[in-house]
Amino acid sequence: MSIAGLKKQIYKASQMVSEKVGGAEGTKLDEDFKDLERKVDVTSKAVVEVISKTSEYLQPNPASRAKLSMLNTMSKIRGQVKSPGYPQAEGLLGECMAKYGRDLGEETNFGGALVDAGETMKRLAEVKDSLDIDVKQNFIDPLQSLYDKDIREIQHHLKKLEGRRLDYDYKKKRPGKIPDEEVKQALEKFHESKEVAETSMYNLLETDQIEQVSQLSSLVESQLQYHQQAVQILEELSTKLKERITEAQSRPRREYVPKPKPVFEFAESIDQSNGGFTPTVSAPPPARNSDPYLQFGRASIRKPRTPSEQPCCKALYDFEPENEGELGFHEGDIITLTNQIDENWYEGMLRGQSGFFPLNYVEVIVPLSH
């Protein structure tokens, strides 16, 4: 730094101390200039805040945002062209749904629905990625360029203007010590800086704002396109899920057939580890012409059949009716047979009630006559 430059810095510092500490008044700028300066300051804050909030809107997870920023920086350092993208919440949800849908099996109704929903969420994530790219290119980047170029340039001019004002105020208050020519030059430089700063602020506020409105319009168009595509994708998924519901409701219900209950018998030896009981699985119902003795671990003796006996059966398990027209009973009940509906169902009567019941829940004592 030259001697003249060093002296100028000393003058500005001295004048600043005089104003801050001593209460000295400096040269006042006109109200129009102050109004421009205030509007530029608000514009600068608005651009910075809008860029920040738009990034949060596109990438709401701060941890993922920070990680992505670090990875992008590393990619630039390594010279990689493609950098990793932001993990969209829709994509993460889609991966979860698709995984468990495949684990359940796509042939099942819920498993297939989960896979459909998962693939839809992945498509939404792709559309969201496109929104990120469009908004960054057409809104965030132009605003960032405005801040880095125009607003920083104005800030530079205002800082230079303040320095020249301090220099001029210091010199004009020391007549006799500072030559008049030097005071005159300081005043000319002050007015020159004021004109440059005023012109740049005016251009930003009156001319360049047309571009900012256009950029805001681009943001809205990108959002509109994203939501239209999202609605179309979700409507397709909604139609698929409704079709699955209709198909499931029209499909005949499969009845649950319980496995035979185990029957415990005393074993001959009392030294067994289970306390002398041996579990055995009850045998299937006997055929009509099979030996009826020694069924289910205990002897049962049937009386000879006579023509006067009614067709009947004995309940092997409890049966709870689930549909209208079914006949409920408990294990051991004797049910009068009135008709055989098909190879799986009987019709009978018990305690004055008539209804249908599954064949494999009973043992026929007196069969129906053909």
Q: Using one digit for the tens of pLDDT, what is the confidence trace for 215-239?
A: 899 999 999 999 999 999 999 999 9
b/e map 15-32, b = 16+ CB within 10 Å = bbebeeeeeeebeebeee
What is the Cα 192 distance to its own chain's centre?
57
Average pLDDT over residues 49-56: 90
- Residue 76 confidence (pLDDT) above 90: no
- Residue 161 confidence (pLDDT) above 70: yes
Question: For residues 255 and 258, what is the distance between their CA atoms, to the nearest angstrom?
Answer: 10
**What are the tokens at 368?**
């129906």
Residue 180's pLDDT is 84
Residue 174's pLDDT is 82
Average pLDDT over residues 171-197: 87
Residue 151's pLDDT is 92
Distance from the first to the final alpha carbon of the chain: 123
Average pLDDT over residues 162-174: 85
Tally: H helices and E strands in the chain: 9, 7
Is residue 48 within 8 A of residue 212, CB to CB? The reply is no
Q: Identify each DSSP E strand in 93-224 by its residue range.
A: none
Is residue 309 within 8 A of residue 366, CB to CB? The reply is yes
Residue 336's pLDDT is 95
Name the more confident of 76 and 242. Answer: 242
Q: What is the DSSP letter of 138?
A: I
Residue 275 gets the label, from left (phi > 0), alpha (psi -120 to 50) or beta, of left
- Residue 298 confidence (pLDDT) above 70: no
Average pLDDT over residues 162-171: 86
Closest Cα partner for 26 from 155, 175, 190? 190
Band of pLDDT at residue 300, cut at 50, 70 and 90: very low
Average pLDDT over residues 74-78: 57
**What are the tokens at 56?**
């949060």
Q: 84 Cβ partners below 8 Å, 6+ apart?
A: 68, 71, 72, 75
Average pLDDT over residues 281-285: 45
Residue 237's pLDDT is 94
Question: For residues 332 and 89, what is the distance between their CA atoms, to the nearest angstrom?
Answer: 59
- How far, CA to CA in Å, does 165 sit from each of 152, 191, 272? 20, 9, 108
Question: For residues 156 and 159, what is the distance between their CA atoms, to the nearest angstrom?
Answer: 5
Number of residues that this document lists for the chain: 370
Band of pLDDT at residue 79, cut at 50, 70 and 90: low
- How far, CA to CA in Å, does 294 sit from each of 128, 193, 261, 290, 300? 72, 116, 16, 11, 6
Band of pLDDT at residue 370, cut at 50, 70 and 90: low
Q: Identify each DSSP E strand in the chain by its residue range.
A: 262-266, 277-281, 312-315, 334-340, 345-350, 353-358, 362-366
Residue 58's pLDDT is 84
Q: Which residues pair with 353 in a beta bridge?
A: 350
Beta carbons within 10 angstroms of residue 40's beta carbon = 21
Question: For residues 229 and 223, what is the distance between their CA atoms, to the nearest angstrom?
Answer: 10
Residue 294 gets the label, from left (phi > 0), alpha (psi -120 to 50) or beta, of left
φ and ψ at 248, to 5 degrees?
A: -65, -35
What is the Cα 258 distance to its own chain's centre?
41
pLDDT, mean over the chain: 81
Residue 285's pLDDT is 42
- How far, CA to CA in Å, does 291 sit from each of 149, 229, 302, 315? 102, 72, 10, 18
Closest Cα partner for 150 from 40, 62, 241? 40
Q: What is the pTM of this model?
A: 0.59
Q: What percent of the chain has pLDDT over 70?
A: 78
Is residue 6 within 8 A of residue 149, CB to CB? The reply is no
Residue 86's pLDDT is 77
Residue 303's pLDDT is 45
- Residue 142 confidence (pLDDT) above 60: yes
